Structure 1
Amino acid sequence: MDGTTDPRIDFARRLRALQETIGLSLRRLEVESERTPRRRGEGTIRLKRSTIAGMTNLERPVRPQLPNFEVFVDTCLRVAAEKDISLPPELGDREAWNQAYRDLGEYVDRYPRKSMTPHLNGGSPAVEDAPHPAPANAKPLLTRRRVLLATPVTLVVAAAVLSPWWLREQQPSTPDDSSDDGVYSPLGRLLSGPLAKDDPVWSVAVGALKSEALAIVGRADGTLQLWSPVTGRARSKPLAGHDQPVYSIALNGAVAVTGSVDGTLRRWDLTTDSPTSVRLGDKLDAGVNSVALGTVDGRPVAVSAGDDRTVRVWQLTTPELTGTILGEKLDSEVKSIAVGTINGATVAVSGSADGSIRLWDVTGRSPARLLGAHQSTVGTVAIGATRNRVLAVTGSEDGYIRRWDLTATHPTGTVFGDRIYSAVKTVAIGTVKGTTVAIAGSDDTSIRLWDLATGHTYGNGLTGPKKGAESIAIGNVGDVSGRAVVVSGHWDGTIWTWNL
């Protein structure tokens, strides 16, 4: 240690190095933490994403409580063992971690600083002192043999308002068509408050049902729910189907397909007053992260991306069949998938935990093609067409959004705008007032828009939500005169909508 580094930051940096070496995203680490047994036989802990972000924040890290620290490290080491990942001694030695935590505690006790966390029971937050530099003779908490670059994460602490789904928070007044830039009004409308504590909205889809706009949301408790983004009313109660979080929803007319952490896909019939579902094929050995719909040889199919490192094609007309693996298993988990058409042929684009982007022939007649890569997990991808080109947009935890021209001989990933120093969690493509746009939500709470054809910023983004979007969808539906309806789902359990 150089004598100026705050050991709090050094400890956070090493926690992040452990997490990134194993390739665990915030979302995946949260899910995996609940599977990790406690050392003293206590009940399981599910680390919140905000807790993980605070522990690994490189500017003002939060000193973790002992149970959270133990579950964080034990989860990472367990996953590393399951994946047969070889860790350097300074990251893989459990006793070294214990000693590092004790050293951190001694340092914080000796050099305390005031907390920036607001008092949840009232009163003003304390103003934080400048970080104390480490004494020249302070010993390192852990000695690393290599440097791992990490993206800064900002921790925002806020009190969430929790309410049942039938009790709404007060909604902002509906915005008019005017805006500062003359393109659209960026102000969103709250569609629903959280239904329960710690129940994020992981997935959304937008379409039309019985000539009315429809939004479907999937939650952490495994339920699905239908909403009207126009009237602001629920069109169904929460629908049971999955045992674990619903990470993805694909919608085509009155048919929806959902993918879940529980390793299953379900096909939903939305025509009945209380939509019903059937499981597709067998339960997989790992979670399903993403699903998209398409057509192959005139038959409707679902294409899935999973933690079993596969891309699979599922026949919707024969739900008893398990999805066929395209090609072979990849080197890392597949986190996102989107389906499109090039010259009449159905294709898919996938994003993986190792950052790789691949183009697939959904018929399976041609091998997958590696297009390029991000620096970190690619958790979201969308496909759209503009100016006789078919384009894919990918978002990554590295903070970059890239556009890939799938009609080019050698597609390359050009970057939209500047790097976002926060994970890009969700992207979607749609049309706003005749312009094909890409929409992206990130952990910094921003929702940004770009003109898909030019790559230039479109408008001033979308505003309203206080938490980053975990999922976003856009559609043009008839009951609002063809205008674009955008719906987003958030970590705090809220659902927001815009009429552009």
Structure 2
Amino acid sequence: MPSDKQRAALHDLAQHLAKAVDVFHTERLYQLLTNFYFIEAKVFILGAQPLIEDYDLVRNLHSLISWESLNTLILIQDTVRLSSHILASDLEKAQVTGQLAGQLLGRLLAYKTPQIQALMAQAKLRNHAWLCPLTPSLIPPRGYLLRTLTGHDDTINTLVVTPNGKQAISGSDDKTLRVWNLETGETLFTLSGHNAGVNTIALFSDGKKVISGSDDKTLRVWSLETQETLLTLSGHTDWINAVALTPDNRWAISASWDKTLILWSLEKREVLLTLIGHTARVNAIVVTPNGKQAISGSDDKTLRVWNLETGETLFTLSGHNAGVNTIALFSDGKKVISGSDDKTLRVWSLETQETLLTLSGHTDCVKAVVVAPDGKRAISGSDDKTLRVWSLETGETLFIITGHSDWISTLTITSDGKQAISASWDKTLRVWNLETQETLLTFTGHSAGINGIVVTSDGKRAISASWDTTLRVWELETGKTLFSLIGHSDWISAVTITPDSKRAISASWDKTLRVWNLETQETLFTLNGHSRGVSAVVVTPDGKRAISASWDQTLRVWSLETGETLFTLSGHDAGVGTVAVTPDGKHVISGSDDKTLKVWSLETGETLFTLSGHSDCVNTVVVTTDGKQAISGSDDKTLRVWSLETGKALFTLSAHGEWVNAVAITSDNKQAISCSDDQTLKVWDLSTGRMITSFHGENEINCCVIAPDNKMVMAGERLGRLHFLQLLGR
């Protein structure tokens, strides 16, 4: 850990420089803020936020530096802000892991100005082992994303922003509410008390209290000043999905899976009315500005407008073809917009009770919608993992924002309409700039998750397999796509190549494997036989046989000369997700959702022994080049190194925070690289079991591969982005 003296010295330096008002001192501060070693030291000792504030200082003295220098500072500051949730881990662990260098290169490589390139050159001179991006594959500055907030341990379901726009409050399936500082991205405090997930939050107009609804069937009113529960309301018989407050904050109205809404007196702490009429769970509720009506949305496909004085339904709005998940009211109280499981949004007139606009474009359920303060735009979030910004004048999509790796559950907008904050099942909140943006970067990759990558024996090309049902062949020197292979009718889960690199074999959820000629780009033949999706495939060292694994709980051994099944290996009690073959071609190792690995004889088809130890599904397995050890990765967040001679686990590698999806080994068997749903690649020393370094992507990383030179690393993300990296300092 850095000493208090070290921290104080750097803090004093920053404070001294902060008082500079003349050209000399401003130029000196500019030089420091474009120096990689100063940036790394400050992040390591004080964290990202004090560094971000240093850039604000110089930006306020913009008349003393050139436009080009100012632009450089803005780019670096925005990059540090984008990466701050990742850099925080270095500070917590008190270690320099190379994350800063990787984040700077991954986000700034597209910018060719001399100042940026000089910073990149400094970053590459690190002495430690690290994964160096070769292409700009991370979200760049000047894009829509401003900041990512992390801290919740489960799905985030609900979100509000305080009236001053400085704090956000979120509720999660981890049973807590978190209050965030939107300027720094830090959690100010956590509110704990619910016994189940928090689904909904509404903020009192004074910004001092908040009410939450939970799967524990209760509502809680919290003081944001004392951080205590002021009162608890019980009355629903099932989960509470939504809550809203009347403008005077005297009443709350809640919506539930029990198909009812309840109107509560917050002063008397009692039920005033129960609103009955929906025939399925109620998902959303808003209250009109006059406080006299409420509008609810339900899985019964309708919206209902209620009289809050009598509890009667005034009228019903019908038109959606599936459940209504979300509602937002226009500021004039005359129109409402709803989002549905039918993938559309509808704008309704509350005066004529008609649909004014239908907004189509999302490819999955719409879970969240807000209306901009000027009433001209709406922003929606969907299970398709995107945000869409719509014109409410034309009904057209203005632009699409991507970045979340899982369903978007809720979103809100700041009072000035310039920023949106979204929350997702990926456990993050993201702050977006809604003003027009321009970036230099067009991401390289597929249009959906990448599930497998393999490199040719000469190290010149790679082949990736994707959920978008295509294979892509890449030139490793340039990172460009050479051509695509199209033929499967469903997700492609894996790809491998023959030893001569002339043929590729792909495995798909369409239950087939395809053998491709990489010279003619044609399908040579299709392998049929599995009764469920095929999850993995490998080729024997002699190139004559392929072994596939399937969710039908079997492995099949195929002749690559005839396309016929030679024999089937049965024995797992659940789907088989991964397979590897030993270098001598005599044995195959499979990993399954039954939490075990099995070692099979390819001569007799018998199980030689079973490797037990993982506590969850086994997703990946590889064998060392000497055939003596295997390394497996699991949903239990660990990797295990096994002796293939004794069948025993030698040691366990623990550092990932989520499922381990894939692992690759260098040809000298000295290091392994693993990837995970925690969005990281980790490099391991196989002699000590120690993690050497880590690279943090933007989303869950599904697959990784090491080129024959043991330096080039490729990794594929769940959103289709491909990372080209170099392992330096090994």
Q: TM-score, normalised by structure 1?
A: 0.60
User: Matches of residues 358-373 of structure 1 in structure 2 within 5 Å?
Assistant: 358-373=598-613
Matched, 1:292 2:532: no
Is 1:429 the counterpart of 2:665? The answer is: yes
Structure-2 residue corresponding to 1:156: 428
**2:443 is the counterpart of 1:205:** no
Residue in structure 1 matching 2:637, options 364, 374, 399:
399
1:314 pairs with one of 552, 558, 563? 558
Distance 2:580 2:412 in 1: 41
Is 1:334 aligned to 2:569, yes or no? no
- The match for 1:324 is 567
Secondary structure at 1:235 match in 2: strand
Query: For residue 267 of structure 1, what is the aligned residue in structure 2?
Result: 515
Aligned with 2:654: secondary structure? coil
- The equivalent residue for 2:648 is 411
1:443 positional shift: 1.0
* CA pair 257-195 structure 1, distance change in 2 beyond 3 A: closer
For 2:430 and 2:581, the matched residues in 1 are separated by 37
Shift in Å, 1:277:
1.5
- Change beyond 3 A, Cα 1:332–1:195: closer
Matched, 1:474 2:706: yes
Cα distance change, pair 158–217 in 1 and its aligned pair in 2 (3 A): farther
Cα shift readout 1:419-451 (whole Å, capped 9, x = no counterpart): x331111111124xx663111111111110112
* 1:225 Cα deviation after fit: 0.9
Q: Could you tell me whether the CA contact under 8 Å between 2:540 and 2:585 is conserved in 1?
A: no
* Cα distance in structure 1, aligned partners of 2:566 and 2:431: 43
Q: Which residue of 1 aligns with 2:493?
A: 247
Q: 1:107 to 1:397 in 2, by over 3 A?
A: farther
Equivalent residue letter for 1:316: L
TM-aligned CA deviation for residue 169 of structure 1: 7.5
Q: What CA distance in whole angstroms lies between the structure 1 residues aligned with 2:684 and 2:629?
A: 13
Question: In 2 relative to 1, CA 251–453 (structure 1 residues): closer, same or farther, beyond 3 Å?
Answer: farther
Pick one of 58, 74, 79 that aligns with 2:174: 58
For residues 127-164 of structure 1, what are the alpha-carbon distances to aligned partners after superposition, in whole Å with 9 as ceiling and x for unaligned? x9xxxxxxxxxxxxxxxxxxxxxxxx851355999xxx
- Write the distance in 1 (CA, Å) between the matches of 2:432 and 2:662: 22
Note if contact 2:507-2:513 (Cα within 8 Å) is conserved in structure 1: yes
Deviation at 1:116, TM superposition (A): 8.0
Q: Distance in 1 between matches of 2:478 and 2:446?
A: 19
Shift of 1:324: 2.1
Q: What's the counterpart of residue 688 of structure 2?
A: 454
- Alpha-carbon deviations, 1:351-373, whole Å to 9, x = none? 11121111111223543421113
The structure that has the greater radius of gyration is 2
CA drift of 1:284 comes to 2.4
Q: Separation in 2 of the partners of 1:200 and 1:353?
A: 21
In 2, Cα distance between equivalents of 1:309 and 1:472: 25
Letter of the structure 1 residue corresponding to residue 419 of structure 2: G
SS of residue in 1 equivalent to 2:607: coil
Q: How many residues align?
A: 339
Distance change in 2, residues 1:57/1:204 (3 Å): farther
TM-score, normalised with respect to structure 2 = 0.42
Distance of 2:605 and 2:529 partners within structure 1: 26
Q: Cα–Cα, structure 1 residues 340 and 212, in superposed 2: closer, same or farther, change >3 Å? A: closer
Deviations 1:166-223 (Å, cap 9, x if unpaired)?
A: xx9746xxxxxxxxxxxxxxxxxx9x43553xx2112211124xx5611111111211
Deviation at residue 302 of structure 1 after TM alignment: 0.9
In structure 1, C-alpha distance between the alignment counterparts of 2:717 and 2:511, rounded to whole Å: 22
- Match for residue 193 of structure 1? 444
Unaligned runs of 5+ in 2: 1-153, 158-171, 177-196, 201-235, 244-253, 257-261, 267-284, 286-408
Rounded to whole Å, the distance in 2 between the matches of 1:221 and 1:311 is: 25
1:494 to 1:437, Cα distance in 2 relative to 1, 3 A: same
Report how far residue 281 of structure 1 moved.
Answer: 3.1
Q: C-alpha separation between the residues in 1 aligned to 2:579 and 2:439? A: 34
* 1:267 positional shift: 0.9
Whole-angstrom CA distance in 2 between matches of 1:269 and 1:58: 50
Alignment correspondent of 2:623? 383
Distance 2:604 2:713 in 1: 33
User: Structure 1 residues 371 and 224, CA, compared in 2 at 3 Å: closer, same or farther?
Assistant: same
Please say if residues 199 and 241 of structure 2, whose CA atoms lie closer than 8 Å, have aligned partners that are also in contact: no
Give the Å deviation of 1:279: 3.6
Give the deviation of 1:323 after TM superposition: 5.4
* Pair 1:243–1:116, CA change in 2 (3 A): closer
**How much does 1:100 deviate?**
3.9
The match for 1:79 is: none
Measure how far apart 1:484 and its partner are: 2.3
Aligned to 2:485, the other structure's residue is in SS state: coil
Dislocated runs of 4+, deviation >6 Å: 107-112
Aligned CA distance change for structure 1 residues 159 and 369 (closer, same or farther; 3 Å): farther
- CA offsets, 1:205-262, max 9 Å, x none? 1124xx56111111112111101122121111x3211111111111231221111111
